[in-house]
Structures are given as C-alpha cells and as structure tokens.
Chain A
Amino acid sequence: MFETLSDRLTQVFTTLRGRGRLSQADIDATAREIRIALLEADVALPVVRQFIARVRERASGAEVSEALNPAQQVIKIVNEELIEILGGEARRLRFAKVPPTVIMLAGLQGSGKTTLAAKLALWLRAQGNTPMLVAADLQRPNAVQQLQVLGERAGVPVFAPYPGNGVGDPVQVARESVAEARHRLYNIVIVDTAGRLGIDEELMRQAADIRDAVDPDEILFVVDAMIGQDAVQTAQAFLDGVGYDGVVLTKLDGDARGGAALSIAQLTGRPVMFASAGEKLGDFDIFHPDRMASRILDLGDILTLIEQAERTFDQDQAAAMAGKLASGDGFTLEDFVEQLAMVRKLGPIGNLLGMLPGAAQNRELLSQVSDKDLDRAAAIVNSMTVQERQNPKIINGSRRARIAAGSGVTVGEVNNLIVRFQEGQKMMRQMMGGIPGMGGMRRGGQKAKAKGKKKGKGGGRPANAPGRRSPGGPAGLPAGFGESGQDSPGGVPGTGGFGGLADRLGGTDGSLRLPPGLGQGFPAPSQPKLPPGLRGPVPNRRGRQGKKGR
C-alpha cells in the first residue's frame, strides 16, 4: 500500500520507466494514479482536476516527441506544475513605511495561531525587530494567558488589557494596541485573534472589524497542514470574510503531505509564506515552495536537514569530524559516539531519515532504525575502554562479553555493531575517494581545483563512476528530474542512479547560501537562494552527460 503522495508517484513512475513511448493509455493510467495520490494527500478536488488536466495536456502535447524518456518527461511536467502551483519563490513580509507594522493572524480554531504568534515574534526579534504581541483572542478560556506565557518565553512584550474568557472587546484591544506600540516604539504589532469558523458570520464580522481597526500591513491565514478537503471552503470563506495576503502552514512536522498548501495556493493565489514545524518557539521558518515540491516528490528535504544541522552542530566540531571520516582509519569508535550524540541532538532519527532523498522507497528498512538503536549503540561504545574504542581490532571474545554485560545487550549485538562500524569505515573511505573526480567533471575547473587541494586522491575516476554502483538505484528517478529544472527547458535529464542524486546534492550545495566556505573556492553563485537541485548550476552540461551515460 502506498501511503503518501511521494510513495505513490514513485510507484507510478516505476511502472512508466522503461517504456519506449508514452501512449494515450499510459497517460490515462498515470493521470488516474496521480489523481488518487493527490486526493489521498488531501489536495482539494478542484485543484486535482486542474492539475491533472494540465499534466495530461502537456504530456500528450508536442513535448513528448522530444528525445526524452517518457517517464522523465512526465516527472518533469509534474514537478514543474507542482512548483508553479506552490507559488515559485517565497515572498517576504511587507513592512509599513511608518512603524508599527501590523500583522494580523486569522484562522480556524486549533490551527495554531497563538503559538504561531509567539514563533513569529521570536523570529522577527531575532532579525532585530521589536515586536509586540496583542492578545485579541478573548474567547477561548485562558488564551490570553497562553500568549502571555509564550511571550515571556520568546522575550517579547504582550499587550493584554483584558483577561479574556469572554471579557473584553477584541476590536478595542486591537485598536489600542497600535497606539500602545507607537507610544512604546515597538516596530511590529502581531495581533492574535480568536479561532473562528468560516461560516460563523458574526465572528467573521468581528474579524473584519479588527482588521478595519488596525489596518494591518499583512493578514496571515494560519492553517493546519493536516486539513483535508475543507481547506478550499475555509480558505475561501476567510478570503471573503477578512481577506489575507499570505498563508502560514503549521504542524508541518507531522507526516501530513501538505496537500492543503497546494490547494490554498492554487485556489486563492495567495502564497504560503511561513512554515511552522515543531513545538519549540524556534521551529519556524520561511516557507520554501520548491522544497515542498521536493518533499512531495520524494526528493527529500535535504536543505531543511542541512539547515537544522547547521543550527545544531558545532561548526568546527563538524568540520573536524568530516575530516576524520575522510581519512578512514582515523575515524574511531570514540568519534562515532560523538557523532551519535550530535545526531541525537537533531531530533528523532525518523524525522531525519524522512528528509533524506529516496526515503520513501526505503521506508521499510528505515522504519527499523529508531532512536533506541542510537542509544543502544552509544551504550555499547561507552562500555568499551579507551583503548578498545581507538582500536576495535583488539576486542576479543572476553572483551566482547564484558562490553555486552556492561551495556546490557547480547554479545551478538556488540559483534554487529563492530562489524557494521568497520563496514561503514570501509564504505566511507571508498566514497571519499570517488568524490574529487566527480566534482571535477561536473563543476568545471575552478571547483575541481578547490577540491583537489583539499584531498588530492582519486582525481582520475571516470565521471560515470556512480552509475556502476547501482544503476537506476532507488534514488535515481527523483534525481533525474531534478536536473531538468524549470529554467532549463532544453536540458535533458540524466539517466539517474546515485550519480544523479549526488549531482542534485551538489547543485544544492553549490547554490546554497549556507556553506560559507564554498564561496571561497569558486565565484559566488548568481542565484543565492536556489531551490534544492531543481536548478542545478549547469543543467545542460549534466544533461549531456546523462545522455552519454545511457
């Protein structure tokens, strides 16, 4: 059973792969599968219809006649359509010319407005603003208090003249808040309103009154990523009732595929601006439409993963660790435990794995890896002596028994860990060897030089080396269309395989604003914030390579 959109689409494309031409029947079958997949992912029906119609039209149109693998063609179309609907690039907040900038939040009950208000405040504060929260939800019991507590946590003042629980007039609170902010020189006012239903006319009028009272620069519609088909009605009702300029998607840390994002963006034309994924106040960021498309299409949300890692990991430590990994033998069990701790800090391993490309196909395998395994592995290594950790080869039978007893596992598990560690060590070494060559072939001279200096081995590997490992491997497909990004219509997608994925990652890496060091090795990329892999820096070059490989 294919549970998620990405699983399902992957399956559709697996059956498509390998056919010579795309017949009308093929298109019909694909369209059906995509339709079901999108519906199961809670994309609203009207949006699904439009989507299918467009894909169908384009698939049977002239484009198919090009010398492309039909599967890649469909994938490319689907991906482009997805990104188009999701709204291209993220929009920034509009600030008022004369402060305070007023941001008003509206949404259904339980969509996460109050929490989001605090998250937004913290995010804005981190950028040097002085936000003020306004408790205009006087309806839900103790919503005001919740905002006060959250405001305290975020270090942001809260304007709450009324205790709530039905006491006070939210419109008046909102009006007073702007004066208050002006008086105290806060430059942003975030108005948290009560949750309301789209069909509740009285409350919608109240929301409109609040809007008129504060004249907000931005009205954000807060919506739960888990919302189903009702997203359409609700989004429309709020658009008619209060109007809004942007959408915030909350609870994205769940496993909902976020079909709502697609629906709302398509039907209302309002971009999704922020995404909130987590219970901590810091778990909040700008929404990246391209990443969402990647997530839906099982490209993995590698950029988010990297960003999270960057925030959590100590830079020097990470760099040192990577160096050790590269050197092979220098990587000891001690380092391994250190790494375990670092990875644990990132959160549940399941979340991380979900963000890796190709995760959908390996779901079965991945579901076997749990946080407990990490803890157990750490316990085993912690039960070793320093000498043993540095040189696992000295671990003999009696040492094994001692370690097992010390960490409360069986001897077999100790064995397993050691064997896997050694395998991993070996694999890392192999891979490290392969990289410079690949980088050189793909990225052209500058970068190759930069890399070559760092580790001067293995430069002579043939460019198609990755294919040898597992041609058409699990990650192959998504990678394939990553390359045929929207701004390179002439680009021919690569045949896939891990090489393709590596490329995509490479593209990510090269065009990413994050790794600051890369900028030194080669000129800064022209587009500082490129979507992950969808616009590889040199798509055409890669495309040619892909053709050759085939």
Chain B
Amino acid sequence: MEHVLIIAAVIVAVGGGGAAVLASPLVRSRRRPKPSGGEPGAGQDGAGLAGDEHPGGTATLELPAAPGTADTGAPHAGAAPPRGLPVLPPVAPPAEAERPPPSAGRMVRLRSRLARSQSAFGSALLSLLSSDRLDEQTWEEIEDTLITADMGVGAAQQLVGQLRTEVKVVGARDPAQVRKLLRADLIAQINPAMDRTLHTKPHGDRPAVVLVVGVNGTGKTTACGKLARALIGDGQTVLLGAADTFRAAAADQLQTWAQRVGAQVVRSDDEGADPASVAFDAVNRGIESGVDTVIVDTAGRLHTKTGLMDELGKIKRVISKHATVDEVLLVLDATTGQNGLRQARVFAEVVDVTGIILTKLDGTAKGGIVIGVQRELGVPVKLVGLGEGPDDLAPFEPEAFVDAILGS
C-alpha cells in the first residue's frame, strides 16, 4: 500500500485541497509496510505505465533518393523485405506507377457496398415507421434502432421527437411518405450545407499540407495512402511524410502505398525519431520539389495521453513555421462508439480538426457517431473509407449516404 500512499502524498502536495479529500481515504487505509519480497512482477517493465511518451530519439532524417534515380529492378513490393531496419528503396519509378482513377463519383460507385451492410438497418426503421399503430413502444423501438447505429442517446431521442411531431402534423402513414420524412430528417442531422471540400490546392509556390491524425488502429496510414492515390488520380503531385515514427514498420507501410502510385516519401529511418522533425522535413522537401500537396501521417495516439497530444500539437506548430496546414483530418473508425465524441473533442482542441475521414464503413458498423461529432464540433465528414481496395476512399455525400442507408 505504500505505493498508493506515496501517490496520495504527491497529489496532496501538488494538487492541494480537493485532491486531499480524495487522497485521504487512501492514506487512511495504509497497512504495515511490507518487506521487499521477491515479487514476480517486479523488475520487468521498469519504465512503467502505458502513458509514457514515445521515446524521443534523435531526429536524424534520411531523405529518399530523388525521383528519377529510380532503379529499374524488381518492384520492392515483390522482394522479401530484409529483416531489421528497412533499406530505403528508390522512390517513385514514375513510368511504372499506376494511374488511379479520379475521386469524383466514387461514392456512387461504392454505394452498393454501403447499402450491403446498412439495408437491414434502413428496412427495420422503415417497417417500424410504416406499421399500423405508432404507439409508445414502436417509437421506443425506433429510438433503439437508431441507437444501434451508434448515434448516441441524445441524437436518437431528438430525431425521434422530431419525427413524432412531423408524423402527427402530416398525418403520414404510407411508406413512401414516411420514408421521405425520415430521409429528410437524417439528411438534416448530417447537415448537407457544410463545406466538405478538401483543401489540397497549393498556394502559389507552397504546397497544401494535410495532417492526418487519430487514435490507434483507425486506419490513418491506409487513409493517407488512399488519399494520395485519389489526389494523384485527380492530377496532383503528392509527397507523403511518414511522421509515424513509433509504430513498427508504419513508415514502410506508407512507403509501399506511395510506391504504387509514384508519390515521394520523406521518412526517418530512425525508429522513435522526433515526428515533428520528420513532418518539418517533409514540408520543406515538398516546398523544394514543388509538389501540390504534402500529406503528413502521424502515429496513432489515444486522446487521453497528454504527452502524445502535446507531441501532436508540436507537429502542427512546427509545420506552420513553413507552410499553412490546410487540413487536419481526424480519422474515425466507423465501429467506434460514443468514445468517438471524446476523441474528436480532444483532437479538435489540440490541433483544430477541419474534417473527418470515416473509415471501415463497409462493415456492419453504421458510423452513427459522426452525427454527434458533426453536431457538437461542427466538423464535417469529408471522406469515407468503403473497403480494402486502394481506391475505396470516396468524398462524402450526405444524400448518397442516407439513400444507401435507407435502401432505395
């Protein structure tokens, strides 16, 4: 117990009054100090709790060979990657690079994929709404159905309230009419008036900078790769900055993406290098080589880790010294529940998120959390990830999205 006691003591001294109230019960329960026994857990993992910052390494940065010095050998993807530290492959063999399709109209193409998983949800809602009697229980079921889409209790209750009044006013009962009402309400929740354009056009001689952030495992690196593809498909030049220096092989993953479409990559070979310095160099290099857009991939970080959030703030500040950060895109996993709202709130506070990429929407998850996020933070969903294919990232279109949910 002395450990807790120590923590309590520190809190008392540092935090003062309120913390003391909290700490006192702990202290009170103190037991006799124990002798140092051979504790199995002792000794391992001396560095302690999860929340520690990523080890700050030196920021030695190795830039990839300039495009054009590409070798003509086998494409890297096919060769066995060497064990241990990756060797920098030549970047961007332009002749072999794929030409991805432009981004426009992708949502329509991917609609079927969205509908595949969502139709059950839509038909359940519609059948409930067009049932003979709309009593308390039915309304509750409607609310519950909305909640299963991760919309959140608040948003669901509001939507149901609205629908109730409308149905009463209109006196609508036939399915087509109800569907129209529901569609309008859902679209209103997603707010189609928001500006969802992605600002990726260069300003004069400076490239546009897109910073991609999010918690672990939402698909940031993949989103970066797909976004680069989409932009190249639209005829822009792109440079990727691998500022995820923490996760093993994250930079390699990004590089693989870049290679497929012939984008440049700036990375550090030093694991644990300062991500801000990598981001800075990426932007510098982007300015030098005159690309249109620089996309900076960052390491996944839980929003609860203040140290890591500070690091993210630093990345943005450092980039801002040389260029304007045009877009800060928060990557949210469609499966994320109500915690997504907290994530968005903290990220917005730290780096001022300008848009959301909703990934993994091709699964059974509905991604309803974005409704709450949009409502509370006013940050629009700009892109959606609808599959594992390299071109399955589409600009978000509210109407098409709702239509897909409800099934046409």
Contacts and interface: CB of A to CB of B under 8 A. Distances in A.
A229 B149 contact: yes
A260 B337 contact: yes
A57 B254 CA distance: 54
Contact of A226 (B271, B337, B368): B337
Contact of A145 (B28, B150, B248, B363): B248
Contacts of A255: 303-304, 339, 342
B150 A230 contact: yes
Given A199-B116, A199-B364, A310-B39, A451 B31 contact: yes
Contacts of A254: 215, 302-304, 339
Contacts of A229: 147-150, 337, 365-366, 368
A146 B248 contact: yes
Given A229-B149, A420-B13, A279 B50 contact: yes
Given A142-B253, A199-B363, A517-B35, A348 B49 contact: yes
Contacts of B217: 109-112, 224, 250-251
A377 B16 CA distance: 12
A139 B77 CA distance: 12
Contact of A146 (B17, B50, B225, B250): B250
Given A146-B248, A322-B5, A431-B30, A280 B45 contact: yes
Nearest to B117: A199
A514 B368 CA distance: 44
Nearest to B85: A149
A434 B15 contact: no
B248 A150 contact: yes
B33 A319 contact: yes
A340 B150 contact: no
A424 B9 contact: yes
A346 B343 CA distance: 23
A3 B216 CA distance: 22
Contact of B33 (A322, A350, A514): A322
Interface stretch (A367-375, A401-409, A524-532): A367-375
A342 interface: yes
Contacts of A428: 9, 12, 27
Nearest to A164: B81
Contacts of B25: 357-358, 466, 473, 475, 498, 501-502, 505
A294 to B, nearest CB: 15
B252 interface: yes
A298 to B, nearest CB: 12
Interface string A214-234: 000000000010111111011
Interface in A391-427: 416-417, 420-421, 423-424, 427
A420 B16 contact: yes
Contact of A435 (B28, B86, B306): B28
| Dominant secondary structure of chain A at its interface with chain B | helix
A165 B11 contact: no
Given A41-B338, A42-B337, A310-B39, A230 B363 contact: yes
Contacts of B362: 197
Contact of B4 (A152, A305, A351, A517): A305
A366 interface: yes
A268 interface: no
A424 B26 CA distance: 14
Interface in A158-177: 162-163, 165-167
Contacts of B20: 423-424, 427
Task: From A142, A149, A358, A514, name the one whose CB has the most chain B CB atoms within 10 angstroms.
Answer: A142
Nearest to A226: B339
| Dominant secondary structure of chain B at its interface with chain A | loop
Interface in A322-368: 322-323, 325-326, 331, 336, 339-340, 342-343, 345-353, 356-359, 362, 364-366, 368
A72 B48 CA distance: 37
Given A163-B79, A431-B30, A516-B34, A366 B48 contact: no
Contacts of B303: 254-255
A160 to B, nearest CB: 8
B304 A509 contact: no
B80 interface: yes
A538 interface: no
B320 interface: no
Given A109-B360, A351-B50, A358-B22, A318 B3 contact: yes
Interface in B53-91: 54, 77-81, 83-84, 86
B22 A315 contact: no
Nearest to B148: A229
B97 interface: no
B21 A473 contact: yes
Contacts of A345: 47-48
A506 interface: yes
Interface string B125-141: 00000000000000000
A474 B48 contact: no
Task: From A110, A251, A307, A416, name the one whose CB has the most chain B CB atoms within 10 angstroms.
Answer: A110
A37 B13 CA distance: 34
Contacts of B342: 3, 255
Given A42-B338, A227-B335, A312 B256 contact: no
Contact of B50 (A140, A340, A347): A347
A319 B34 contact: yes
A15 interface: no
A259 interface: yes
Given A255-B304, A420-B12, 15 more contacts: A143-B249, A145-B249, A145-B252, A226-B339, A234-B365, A250-B217, A280-B50, A282-B47, A283-B45, A347-B50, A351-B304, A424-B13, A505-B29, A509-B31, A510-B31
29 contacts: A146-B249, A146-B253, A149-B248, A224-B336, A226-B333, A253-B50, A253-B305, A302-B4, A309-B4, A310-B3, A312-B45, A312-B49, A318-B3, A319-B2, A342-B6, A348-B305, A351-B304, A353-B11, A358-B22, A358-B25, A366-B18, A423-B12, A428-B9, A454-B33, A466-B25, A473-B25, A505-B26, A516-B38, A517-B32
Interface of B: 1-7, 9-39, 41-52, 54, 77-81, 83-84, 86, 116-117, 144, 147-150, 152-153, 215-219, 222, 225, 246-250, 252-253, 256-257, 271, 302-307, 333-340, 342-343, 360, 362-366, 368-369, 388
Which 8 residue pairs across A and B have the least CB separation, nearest first? A278-B50, A228-B337, A517-B34, A347-B49, A516-B37, A365-B18, A110-B217, A309-B3
